[in-house]
Amino acid sequence: MRSKIHVFLVLVLFLTLPAFSQYQTAMPGYHYQFPRDYFNHPEFQTEWWYYTGNLKSSDGHRFGFELTFFREGANRNSRSNESTWTVRDLYIAHFALSDITNHQFLQQERINRAGPGLAGISEKDNRIWNGNWQVVWNADRQQLSAVGDAFRIDLSTRTEKQPIIHGLNGISQKAAGQGHASHYISFTRLLTTGRITVNGSQFSVEGSAWMDHEFFTNQLSPDEAGWDWLSLQLSDNTELMLYRLRHKDGSVDPFSSGSYVDAQGTTIHLSEADFSMQPGTELWASPETKGNYPLSWRVSVPKLQIDLNITTPLRSQEIVSRGKGTPSYWEGAIDLAGHRGDLPVSGVGYLEMTGYAGAVQF
């Protein structure tokens, strides 16, 4: 029944999908205001909130988690006779747990309309939710909770560094031309504690998380097939976000970019010329989507004297879409090791790879 509803709502989205002219595009000069910009921007067609993290129990049991919320605009036209069930936006959410110690990956997704409080984003209530999956904000803390068929999380995060703004002049440019951009902020180090329950066993955990929030309309250009994205939390209390946009011919878009955050929270923008992000030879073939994902990477940022090797402790971490309207992609926990100048550095993070099981277009 759930899968039928999913397919129906995705069909509604594409049958009623309006022209981009109903929505604003991300333009230079945007003035960010917090906490306003933590929440909803219905004037843009696509918006997402991505939480990922690496956690451990006191006995060393290791987990990765992902909890993501998407809002996709379906129709902004105002009608006087709208009902509670009118579809103005679709709300999609993904919830995944990487039980690394037990070599197990669990994932679920859901899709809703707002309806009578089924899903939404409320600045007034400091809340983002889809059914009983939610984030509740309270000053510098964010409470995450989600319940799956065999797994759940109840986590509390505390902001160690203030949010950073990616890109230049208020936008993160994704391709040549006006509007091919997003407004993009991140919390790059959220100290996290709480509980994870999996297959009836409960674990008290702690570690660190990362949150990305983007809003945009028509972000990519038609010749882009997907992207590779890294969030890296280094052992010297610095962070790196890097993304590599791939063209359909295999070349890398010159608007690929990133951000470096130092130990004090100061951000440095990185252009495509400032870093190298190269896939290794290790591939994982998805038995479900047939996508081939590179699981090892080499990252270099010469001007910061950073050189890292990226690996994953769990090969199978693919989010498999059950509907035709949302893409499948690999997103999972990773380890990093290397050096910064003459000093060794290590850390953890998350890797996202899209477009390997079919092109992605937003």
Which pair of tokens denotes residue 235?
A: 């052992």
Domain count for the chain: 1
The answer to the question of residue 128 being in a domain is: yes
297: in domain: yes
Q: Is residue 229 part of a domain?
A: yes
Kindly state whether residue 362 falls inside one of the protein's structural domains.
no
- Confirm whether 298 is domain-assigned: yes
Assign residue 274 a region: left if phi > 0, alpha if psi is -120 to 50, beta otherwise? alpha
Q: Is residue 361 part of a domain?
A: no
Q: Is the pTM of this model over 0.75?
A: yes
pLDDT of residue 360: 59
3-state secondary structure of 221: coil
Note whether 299 and 305 are within 8 A (CB): no
- In a 10 Å sphere around its CB, with 0-12 CB exposed, 13-18 middle and 19+ buried, how is residue 256 labelled? buried
What pLDDT, on a 0 to 100 scale, did the predictor assign at position 189? 98
Report the CATH number that the domain containing residue 50 is assigned in CATH: 2.40.370.10
Phi, psi of 329 (to 5 degrees): -160, 160
- Residue 88 DSSP class: S
- pLDDT by residue for the chain (362 residues), tens only, comes to 333 333 333 434 444 455 556 899 999 999 999 999 999 999 999 999 999 999 999 999 999 999 999 999 987 765 555 777 778 899 999 999 999 999 999 999 999 999 889 999 999 999 999 999 999 999 999 999 999 999 999 999 999 999 999 999 999 999 888 888 999 999 999 999 999 999 999 999 999 999 999 999 977 777 778 899 999 999 999 999 999 999 888 889 999 999 999 999 999 999 999 999 999 999 999 999 999 999 999 999 999 999 999 999 999 999 887 665 567 899 999 999 999 999 999 999 999 999 998 655 44
The answer to the question of residue 195 being in a domain is: yes
Decide: 350 and 314 in contact? Cβ < 8 Å.
no
Q: Is residue 359 part of a domain?
A: no
What pLDDT shows up at residue 91?
95
pLDDT at 19: 52
Count Cβ atoms within 10 A of the Cβ of residue 340 and give its class: 0-12 exposed, 13-18 middle, 19 or more buried: middle
Q: Which residue has the tokens 């590179």?
A: 294
Residue numbers of the domain that contains 148:
2-354
